[in-house]
Amino acid sequence: MLSGNIAVAQQLAEETTLENEFLNFIPTSYTKDGQIIFYSANTKDKESGLFKNLQVYNEGFEKIKDISIENPTYETYTLIKRREPVRDFTTGNVTYTGDWVSTKENEYEANGYNLMGLESCTETDGGMACSSREYGYLTQTLFNEDEKFEYFFTTQEIRETNKVETDRDNDGQIDEIWTSFSLTESGLEIRQDDGTVIFRHEYSNEAGSSVEGWPKIYKVGRKAFLMICEQIFHPSEPSYNKYTIYSVSKEASEIAYVKTLAGALRAYPNPARKGGILTMEFPKAQDADARREVRVTSMDGQTLLCHPVAADAHTVQIPLRRMNAGIYNFTLTENGQVVENSRIVVR
């Protein structure tokens, strides 16, 4: 009898072996007729973190769908414009007053994010339950009632993100211009498993800025709201957040704009340097007895630092000596509840 059980267990293990990076499930409130559905993700390669596909399984772990994810590549570069030198043969002095010449340097192939995880907060009896966006990649009936699966896709583009002008000969005239063209996120789309785009949110397009964004769903009572957070970076200013709220009606297949809110959390410098100090600014707590802290987590959800913050404080400095180059989540909590999130780039 025991050997029979072992054989069955071995057979089940063989049948459910997955080749992809992790196994997750779609909450039954987001599936057609409450079906039990699992999925696993396969990355393009370990370095880029780009997703190649999602494989979907029923409760018997039979594959029912293989969803291919777009993997675009881009070229970042620096455009350098210089005036050619002109020599005064009488004095031997050189000035940069000749014709403008353009060159393209620092050309690199770049990959950004493609599949974006969805964070969710759902009302429960006497409270709420929130999930991490790091693994919530797939839904089915969150935004409409058909049988197609849905996921968030980050669109990107090459944009001018920095410009430096120089007067090399100190004659009061600009004679050299370095313009950086970098990969930046341009928007967030909800795509179905066949690639159809059913919703798009355009990110802020401020000159010289770059944006990182992520989605969060709130289910309160019988209503659902989609919040899209944009963290906006400027080369010489603190980063800041902007939140756009949409109401979701899956019965009407409608995602309607409600309001845009300005974030109160600012962090600088951003990008920051490893070993440096990060300064965060935020409003003072309204409750003088509030327990607040800043929590730092890596992109895989590991908590790296918890820093207490006084209720009357409006700034805090975070040492970055333990952080390698990468992207980190900074979360301000008050009495155990998340007040605001921010992303920081460490170089």
CA dist list (Å): 183 to 213, 237, 239, 301, 325 = 14, 19, 17, 25, 18
Which pLDDT score, from 0 to 100, does residue 10 have? 47
- The secondary structure of 94-156 as a DSSP string is EE--S-EEEEEEEEEEE----EE--EEEEEETTEEEEE-TTS---BSSSS-SSS--EEEEEEE
Which pLDDT score, from 0 to 100, does residue 151 have? 94
Which pLDDT score, from 0 to 100, does residue 48 have? 58
Instruction: Return the amino acid letter for 163.
Output: K
Which pLDDT score, from 0 to 100, does residue 46 have? 55
CA angle 29, 139, 223 (to 5 degrees): 50
Query: Would the pTM of this model clear 0.75, i.e. be above it?
Result: no
Which pLDDT score, from 0 to 100, does residue 19 have? 55
Of 332, 339, 276, nearest in space to 306 by CA: 332
CA angle 68, 228, 300 (to 5 degrees): 60
CATH numeric code, 269-347: 2.60.40.1930
Instruction: Give the chain's residues under pLDDT 70.
Output: 1-21, 44-49, 112, 131-135, 207-208, 235-237, 264, 300
Which pLDDT score, from 0 to 100, does residue 174 have? 94
Calpha distance 161→188 (Å, rounded) = 20
- The secondary structure of 171-206 as a DSSP string is SSS--EEEEEEEEEEEEEEEEETTS-EEEEEEPP--
Q: List every span in the chain annotated with CATH 2.60.40.1930.
A: 269-347
Which pLDDT score, from 0 to 100, does residue 135 have? 58
CA angle 29, 30, 31 (to 5 degrees): 100
Tokens 């063209």 -> residue: 181
Whether 25 and 11 have beta carbons less than 8 Å apart is answered as no
DSSP single-letter state for residue 15: H
Question: Tokens at residue 221, please?
Answer: 């009572």
